[in-house]
Amino acid sequence: MSPISTTLQHVLGWSGGENAAIRLLESIDTCGSINRAAKEVGLSYKAAWEKVETLNNLSVQPLVLRQVGGSGGGGTVLTDEGRELLQKVTVLRREFSAFVSFFGERPEEALNTLKMLRRFEMKVSARNVWAGTVSKIDKGAVNSVVTVALKGGDTVVSVITDSSVIRLGLQPGSDVLAMVKATSVMLGRDIKPENLSARNILFGKVARIVPGVVNDEVTIDLPGGSTVTSINTSESIRRLDLHAGVDVAAIIKASSVLLAVL
């Protein structure tokens, strides 16, 4: 491999080899079932759904969709964007030795695909990770309020120090990752935003609930195509009478939203 290709591998963070997220997408496309795909790639059903939700949040457009009902009883399928991503990855796998040429001819397309792969491979403890674009920065004496536009019109607001804004090089139009721990996401029903101090109130529908011994994990579908995961006590979930399909609000303090750049 040429020195230029080796340097690009190091800079771009991908060697052209296997990627766990891509293997899962390929299996879903082949099987049409996340349950069978999970078994094929060696993941639990829960872990596979968590990875799919993360992939959808990190992609500009959803890569995987749930299909409910029908003669086949429903299933899980890739969107056109998901299949297009696999096609691009196939090209990069097959022709990585000629990537310098590919980069020279279609630099934006190549970099966007590899950038997405780097997001997929990133490991963080926060359950909620969304890709977005800085839409506004309101600077204060010490802290700045950063508004991040997510796909589909959803937004989240983060409060970080002015020095962090400078260190991250943030400005309107910057690509960022917004991260929130699932334990920092409160839930409510029949919420009126004007009655709460929290800056982030994301309205959606309960997609699924994974019960635990003490805490339950609730995943919420947002209108724009992203998901939010919350961990609350089982008693709280029962008290709110939450179940799949119920309208619910995810409530997040702006100070709980962390920002990162690649």
Q: What's the pLDDT tens digit per position in 194-253?
A: 989 999 999 999 999 999 999 999 999 999 999 999 999 999 999 999 999 999 999 999
Q: What angle do CA 128, 134, 140 make, to 5 degrees?
A: 105
Q: Does domain 3-121 have CATH number 3.10.450.710?
A: no
Write the DSSP assignment of 11-35 as a string of letters. Answer: HHT--SS--HHHHHHHHHHHHS-HH
What pLDDT does residue 1 have?
Answer: 43
Class of domain 128-180: mainly beta
Domain 3-121 shares a fold with domain 128-180: no
For residue 73, pLDDT over 70 is answered with no
What pLDDT does residue 35 have?
Answer: 92
Continuous segment of H or E residues that includes residue 89: helix 80-94
Instruction: Give the pTM.
Output: 0.72
Residues in the chain: 262
| Distance (Å, whole) CA 262 – CA 250 | 26
Mean pLDDT in the chain?
85
Q: Which residues, listed in sequence order, are joined to residue 132 by a DSSP beta bridge?
A: 176
Which stretches does DSSP call E strand in the chain? 64-67, 75-78, 128-139, 143-149, 155-161, 175-180, 186-188, 200-210, 215-221, 227-233, 247-252, 258-260
Q: Which two tokens stand for residue 233?
A: 């006590």
Contact 200, 132 (CB under 8 A): no
Per-residue confidence band for 97, with pLDDT thresholds at 50, 70 and 90? low
Annotate 149-164 with b (16+ C-beta within 10 A) or e (fewer): bbbeebbbbbbbeeeb
**So where are the chain's domains?**
3-121, 128-180, 182-251
| Topology classification of domain 182-251 | OB fold (Dihydrolipoamide Acetyltransferase, E2P) (2.40.50)
What pLDDT does residue 66 have?
Answer: 84
Q: What angle do CA 167, 15, 110 make, to 5 degrees?
A: 70
Quote the crossing angle between the two packed helices 80-94 and 107-121, to the nearest 10°.
Answer: 100
Q: What's the pLDDT tens digit per position in 159-207?
A: 999 999 999 999 999 999 999 999 999 999 999 999 899 999 999 999 9
For residue 32, pLDDT over 80 is answered with yes
Contact 114, 13 (CB under 8 A): yes
Contact 64, 80 (CB under 8 A): no
Contact 34, 51 (CB under 8 A): no
Q: Is the dihedral of CA 70, 211, 235, 258 positive or negative?
A: negative
| Distance (Å, whole) CA 228 – CA 221 | 7
10 Å Cβ neighbour count for 214? Answer: 8
What pLDDT does residue 100 have?
Answer: 57
| Distance (Å, whole) CA 3 – CA 100 | 11
